[in-house]
Amino acid sequence: MSKCYSLIAFLAISVALFGCGKSNEAEQLPVFCKQDGSRLYIKQGNISMEVMPKVAARVSSLKYDGHEILVGIADPDQITDWGTVFWSSPQSEWSWPPVETLDSKPYTLGSQEDRLVLTSDIDKKTGYQFTKTYMPTGDDRISVTYRITNHSDHKKNVAPLEVTRLPPSGDLFYPRGDTDPISGIFYPLDVQNIDDLTWYHYDAKKIRTDHHKVMQDGKEGWVAYVDKGYLLVKEFADNPPAAIAPGEREIEIFTHVEHIFIEMKQQGASVALAPGEHLDWTVVWHVKKLPEDLAKNPEPAALATYVRSLL
């Protein structure tokens, strides 16, 4: 991981509130972004990302040359089973369902220099306001910077958590960290230790009568998903287990009992925010079509080497 991405995690606290000013849908968008009705389209290299400002600025589609990587929107009224969302951690603060103001309500659209900026309202229960900033950062690569601002009247310990819903197929893997895998209240996920990797292969026959989950510390600051010859890598600042929110882990994989999706989750360090302070956390999305030889023989060590070559 480059030093500039790691640095973002250590610039977590700032007393200056984020100010992009009032915006509206007529505002000039960055050149990489086009608007079509209620949806925004970000194009970078071979990838196209769709963002929906009216549904919490979540990523609703991610394509490589037309091949869909995510579980996209099927029913606009069903907000829990598709796309990529952003939550605060620990989840125990808000339990379930997710906070509507932050997870499913409209965000304000704006731009700042060469960045696309979307901002939530302030949630009355938690006091949080989320900002999502999208910007291409290289070939087949888009960075998303998340901001959590504490608008409550007291100090709060909070961490950033990104959740991506993927099709129920393929494999997920990441460098194994310093903690053993746990499953929380769910069935344990059937993962393997392969060299220095934690490896999960989706097998619908092994999903029992409940959801399955694995939670574990990672290393190197990345987690990857491969399916049908396409690769998605999330790159972020690595943190030791002690920096993660209580009851949480740096990386999580969750499988839905009805075989609707796999969730790939990763989170940043927990930060103590005084009223008016905020944290920033960046995740870089790498999307690739695998080289032909690797697509035909997706051997774990070779895939990990390829991923590391991208970071």
Distance, CA of 47 to CA of 62 (rounded, Å): 7
- Helix, strand, coil share (%) of the chain residues, nearest 5: 15, 45, 45
Which pLDDT score, from 0 to 100, does residue 156 have?
98
What tokens appear for 219 in the block?
Answer: 């290393």
Q: Tell me which long-range contacts 205-212 makes (C-beta under 8 A, separation of at least 24).
A: 207/255, 207/257, 207/259, 208/257, 209/257, 210/186, 210/257, 211/186, 211/187, 211/254, 211/255, 211/256, 211/257, 212/183, 212/186, 212/187, 212/188, 212/254, 212/255, 212/257
At 209, is the pLDDT very low, low, confident or very high (cuts 50, 70, 90)?
Answer: confident
**pLDDT the model gives residue 18:** 38
Q: Which fold has domain 3-310?
A: Beta-galactosidase; Chain A, domain 5 (2.70.98)
Residue 27: predicted pLDDT = 62
Give bridge partners of residue 160 from the DSSP assignment: 88
Neighbours of 73 (CB within 10 A): 18
Mean pLDDT of 132-154: 97
Cβ atoms of 198 and 216 closer than 8 Å: yes
The CA distance from 34 to 141, in Å, is: 17
For 11-59, write each residue's pLDDT tens digit: 443 433 333 334 444 468 999 999 999 999 999 999 999 999 999 999 9
Q: At which residue do the structure tokens 């740096």 appear?
A: 250
Q: Among candidates 247, 59, 90, which has minimal Cα distance to 165?
A: 59
Average pLDDT over residues 247-255: 97
In this prediction, residue 13 carries a pLDDT of: 39
Query: What pLDDT digit, counting tens, does each position of 71-89 carry?
Result: 998 776 777 899 999 999 9
Report the predicted TM-score, pTM, of the whole model to 2 decimal places.
0.90
CA-angle at 247, arms to 242 and 69, nearest 5°: 95
pLDDT tens digits, one per residue of 154-182: 999 999 999 999 999 999 999 999 999 99
User: How many C-beta atoms surround the C-beta of residue 46 within 10 A?
Assistant: 15
